[in-house]
Structure 1
Amino acid sequence: MNTEFMDALTELEKEKGISKDVLLEAIEQALISAYKRNFNSAQNARVDIDRETGEVRVFARKTVVEDVVDPRMEISLAAASELSSAYQLNDIAEIEVTPRDFGRIAAQTAKQVVTQRIREAERSIIYEEYIDREEDIVTGTVQRQDSRFYYINLGKAEALLPVNEKMPTERFKQHDRVKTYITKVEKTTKGPQIFVSRTHPGLLKRLFELEVPEIYDGIVEIKSVSREAGYRSKIAVHSREEDVDPVGACVGPKGMRVQTVVNELKGEKIDIVRWSEDPEVYVANALSPSKVVHVDVDEESKVANVVVPDYQLSLAIGKEGQNARLAAKLTGWKIDIKSESEAERDDAVEGAAESSPDIEDEIEGEQIES
């Protein structure tokens, strides 16, 4: 190694942010192993790299003793005194043992160490960048796929989109650009692994945050999201300012804001409803677009009994129960839906049961009369 190598380490420190001293210490440690491996040495050794010239020297470290038992690890006091009069018993004496052709081995080892440290530093930088972006949206291009993942190129890194985290209604081709939601970032021996999703409710929430300035500014708040990816979603919104309509803000002029989100989600239908502290109002809103006659809630069991017009029953329940299911997820309430005619029939049965006399009382009355 020479001064050019040292200059290269200085440049590397500026460009990659890898400390020159840390690199040199790592190279010295690697050279100790290389020395022992290539020269069959079992003795203690120390490698020193001159910080100015890059000159590499190897020193054997031996304990100063009265009588030498193991010459590889020990040196007599008399021999140590020839090196320096300052040595005393039990001191560690250092003797230069640099092999003649050690420079070639040193250069190869240094290159390997520097390359490895650069790779580790780049991986660490990528990890630190993306660990801070968990629960955020990233845009990338589809590179390839296997039986488990779609591999999304994010530029500096590659993200893994599990096959079951892709919306069932979409198909990807190579080089397609997609927005995904980062669910998890893990540090592994092969570098950071970034897992993303297209089905996570967080993707819907973040898309609205990007499209609606009022949400970004904190005026409108997304209180809850429920989603069946690729088919239908519901979001509950609330405004912190009375003169701002949270639903209208999310829909946007001529529906442009919500349409942008729908397009990104490949036509997924989105119901935007107004959040309310009153569970009866909130449940009624959540069943949109169905109209609701009235809602009775049981706070203890967290059950909401909902009555809707007869002609709205199928709309309230939705295809295969989807609307009711999403409303229940959105509100956190179990929702039991009945039509008006069913509710009237049930009320009539209950009323008849309450008004009819008890059979045992009738029998007892007959016995008294006789």
Structure 2
Amino acid sequence: MSEAIRLLAQDKGLSEDALLHVLVDALASAYKRREGAADEVVVEVDPQTMDFRFIAFDLDEDGNWINERDDTPRREELGRIAAQTFRQVMSQRIREVERDRKFEEYANREGDIVTGIIQRTDSRYTLLDLGRVEALLPQAEQVPYERPAAGDRAKAYIVEVRKTIKGPQIVVSRTHPGLIKRLFELEVPEIADGIVEIKACAREPGHRTKIAVSSNDHNVDPVGACVGARGGRVRMVVNEMRGEKIDIIQYSDDLPEFVEKALQPAKVSQVNISDDRTQADVIVPDHMLSLAIGREGQNARLAARLTGVRVDIRSETQVAEGVPPHGHSLDPDVEYAEGQWVGNTETGEMEWHSTDGTVLSESDWLAQQAAANRAEAEAPAQPPPELVVEPPAEPVDEPPAEPEPPAEPEPPAEPEPPVEPEPPVEPMVDVPGEPAAEPTGEPAEQSEPPAGAQAPRSDG
């Protein structure tokens, strides 16, 4: 019997003590289904011999204990119902213990990464098989443009572990900045050993990530340690993130210097920090303005999140012209700093404080970015309507060209024949050609012959 308990505990991944407690509960439940059972019973089991004994307690009407006796039944006395109850309770208790064990195993792993195999994907979530448990990857926590397929292996960041009736529900993410940090810990031994530290991380999932690193050993270059020989270490992280670009900069306690490095690869001429240290006015060479702002303001956005201050960028020409600092790029349609990232002193997490007073947690902000990226992915369907709109614009130009007929002054130009003094010359042409025209019976119609005479003369 003890060997059976050991094998069962090994199969279920439970300890033998936990399984013995399950056995005691199942025996007590089976005893109570026996006819003539006592009001209360305590089951004692010898773990070596697996012999068990039932100690029954009789109670009076007030619930007071009045008698204690050994009421261990023989096996044949338990009956079919008691045996069935034992099996049901045993199975139920084992499932409960398994659920509790799995929850305890992952409850302390929030903030860690796991590797799973994609089971299935739908419009709401992707299911990852972690072995004994399954993890839930919601659509909002998936990187835009990633197309997970069943059977693929993927790493994810544990965001939350919930305890449910069916077992632990593990919620994971591939958009959380912590995933980048954990991946670097796996690839860079100096980070795992505490020599190199990731001070800050700003990320736009699927596009670009900036991390700031520092070294606790002056002999170790933090940026070089993260990049690795020929970029081998950072390449492993980039491959895991499906090609997401990663910028690694050296952290600095000097805020102007930190802002300058955060805007790399752009070169900065000057950085002015406000008195409250919440805003940075950055001046860059004219040819560096677009690079400092980045595509759709991405570089400036990430720099603001990485440093925790609002970043306003101006070119040297704009400064000379007296253009005031502003919270957006030259293109008013491309805004990259409509607020600022502020650290929450209670939770230790960054929060986005918008200029309109809205406060978003980092996860909510990332969810908004994911929604915006999905909308951007559907945007290519819009250009065709624009192309269709242009052709109608051409016919609109043609109708104005049609009014040209009324502008034709050529019919009034017909009066020019009377202006022409050529009718007197016509007799010289008509005398040899048409003697019949000499009768003077047509003097009143002389206005018509000149018009008619012009046609042949123009033909000639």
Give the equivalent residue in structure 2 for 1:156.
Answer: 132
Deviation at 1:125, TM superposition (A): 2.5
Matched, 1:331 2:307: yes
Deviation at 1:195, TM superposition (A): 1.1
Q: In structure 2, what is the Cα distance between the partners aligned to 1:90 and 1:275?
A: 72
Which of 2, 5, 15 is the aligned partner of 1:17?
15
Q: In structure 2, what is the Cα distance between the partners aligned to 1:203 and 1:326?
A: 17
Q: 1:25 to 1:57 in 2, by over 3 A?
A: closer
Matched, 1:229 2:190: no
Deviation at 1:344, TM superposition (A): 1.4
Cα pair 1:32 1:45 within 8 Å, conserved: no
Which of 113, 117, 120 is the aligned partner of 2:89?
113
Which of 4, 9, 19 is the aligned partner of 1:8?
4
Deviation at 1:272, TM superposition (A): 0.8
> Which has the higher Rg, Structure 1 or Structure 2?
2
Q: In structure 2, what is the Cα distance between the partners aligned to 1:243 and 1:8?
A: 58
The 5 Å alignment of 1:99-248 reads 102-248=78-224
The higher relative CO (CA closer than 8 Å, separation ≥ 6) is in 1
Indicate the SS of the match to 1:110: helix
Deviation at 1:308, TM superposition (A): 0.6
Give the equivalent residue in structure 2 for 1:297.
Answer: 273
Cα pair 2:56 2:71 within 8 Å, conserved: yes
Q: Which moved more, 1:20-29 or 1:138-147?
A: 20-29
RMSD: 3.0
- TM-score between the two structures when normalised by the length of structure 2: 0.62
Amino acid at match of 1:227: R
Indicate the SS of the match to 2:318: helix
Q: Which moved more, 1:275-284 or 1:104-113?
A: 104-113
Give the equivalent residue in structure 2 for 1:44.
Answer: 39
Indicate the SS of the match to 2:90: helix
Give the equivalent residue in structure 2 for 1:67.
Answer: none
Amino acid at match of 1:44: D
Q: Identity percentage over the alignment?
A: 48
Indicate the SS of the match to 2:321: helix
Q: In structure 2, what is the Cα distance between the partners aligned to 1:151 and 1:125?
A: 21
Give the equivalent residue in structure 1 for 2:250.
Answer: 274
Cα pair 2:58 2:65 within 8 Å, conserved: no
Q: 1:103 to 1:286 in 2, by over 3 A?
A: same
Q: 1:129 to 1:48 in 2, by over 3 A?
A: closer
Q: In structure 2, what is the Cα distance between the partners aligned to 1:54 and 1:107?
A: 17
The 5 Å alignment of 1:253-264 reads 253-264=229-240
Q: In structure 2, what is the Cα distance between the partners aligned to 1:117 and 1:247?
A: 53
Cα pair 2:31 2:37 within 8 Å, conserved: no
Unpaired runs of 5+ in structure 1? Answer: 64-72, 75-88, 349-370
Amino acid at match of 1:17: S
Deviation at 1:133, TM superposition (A): 2.2
Cα pair 1:137 1:206 within 8 Å, conserved: yes
Cα pair 2:286 2:316 within 8 Å, conserved: yes
Q: In structure 2, what is the Cα distance between the partners aligned to 1:13 and 1:141?
A: 27
Q: 1:237 to 1:62 in 2, by over 3 A?
A: closer
Give the equivalent residue in structure 2 for 1:61.
Answer: 58
Amino acid at match of 2:30: L
Q: In structure 2, what is the Cα distance between the partners aligned to 1:253 and 1:301?
A: 37
Unpaired runs of 5+ in structure 2? Answer: 325-460
Deviation at 1:42, TM superposition (A): 10
Q: 1:50 to 1:230 in 2, by over 3 A?
A: closer
Q: 1:191 to 1:341 in 2, by over 3 A?
A: same
Which of 76, 86, 91 is the aligned partner of 2:66?
91
